[in-house]
Amino acid sequence: MVTHLKNEIRKQILAKRNALSKDEIEKLSDKILERLLSHPKFPEAKIVAFYMTKGSEVDTKKMIERAIKEGKQVLVPVTGQKIAFYKFQSFDDLVQGKFGIMEPKSKDTPFEQCPDIIIVPGVTFGLCMHRLGYGKGYYDRYLSDCKAFRIGICFDFQIIDKLPVHENDQRMNCIITDKRTIQ
């Protein structure tokens, strides 16, 4: 029942998100970047895990560029059986991985240390700070054993009041949209 409901919500929100133009995505992502930069946790963070943008997701490219410029260690995920985070080298050092998601070409072993902040993608976030992903539970599994400060980012229309949740669903510490910061 919960799974069915989750799938319905995913379908509706993704249809809206996929209707955004490139320009709209860029403008809204810029607003989210500004909010992320003004979050008090950001300046002090030394290691920040981002995700590599696919399709109509909030664009993380400028966020990654900014974090690197500020001397932070940037990590990005590589998806296999589970997700593991690797050092991000540059946008020229990427290759398409599982689900068509870009990942570092040069990778040896996953980065051992827990990031200070993890930027979490999502299809929907609830005001209760829960999150709905694409339905495979990758981030739930990773976050269940991760002490990083969790910042979910999404466009404002992806926020809904109440989400159906399973016990494995992980909560965010903060959600940033183009219109608000929820914590």
Query: What is the number of the residue whose Cβ is closest to ligand ADP?
Result: 137
Q: CA neighbours within 13 Å on the CB side: how many for 123?
A: 19
Output the smallest distance, CB 18 to ligand ADP, in A: 17
Rule CB under 6 A: say whether 12 interacts with ligand ADP: no
Single out the residue of 130, 133, 151, 177 in contact with ligand ADP (rule: CB under 6 A).
Answer: 133
Single out the residue of 134, 157, 160, 171 in contact with ligand ADP (rule: CB under 6 A).
Answer: 134
CA distances from residue 157 to 11, 62, 124 in whole angstroms, order as listed: 14, 22, 9
Q: CA nearest 178: which of 26, 23, 53?
A: 26
Taking CB under 5 A as the criterion, which residues in 101-140 touch Mg ion? Answer: 140
Single out the residue of 132, 163, 175, 176 in contact with ligand ADP (rule: CB under 6 A).
Answer: 132
Query: Which of these segments, 24-32, 111-119, 152-160, 161-169, binds ligand ADP (CB under 6 A)?
Result: 161-169
Rule CB under 6 A: say whether 6 interacts with ligand ADP: yes
Q: Give the largest Cα separation in the chain, rounded.
A: 46
Q: Are 28 and 178 in contact (CB under 8 A)?
A: yes
Q: Are 122 and 177 in contact (CB under 8 A)?
A: no
By three-state DSSP, how is residue 98 classified? helix
CA distances from residue 43 to 46, 66, 69, 131, 139 in whole angstroms, order as listed: 8, 11, 12, 25, 24
Rule CB under 6 A: say whether 82 interacts with ligand ADP: no
Single out the residue of 57, 116, 169, 178 in contact with Mg ion (rule: CB under 5 A).
Answer: 169
Output the smallest distance, CB 169 to ligand ADP, in A: 5
Single out the residue of 27, 166, 179, 180 in contact with ligand ADP (rule: CB under 6 A).
Answer: 166
23 sits in which H/E element: helix 22-37
Please report, as ranges, the residues that interact with Mg ion according to CB under 5 A.
140, 169
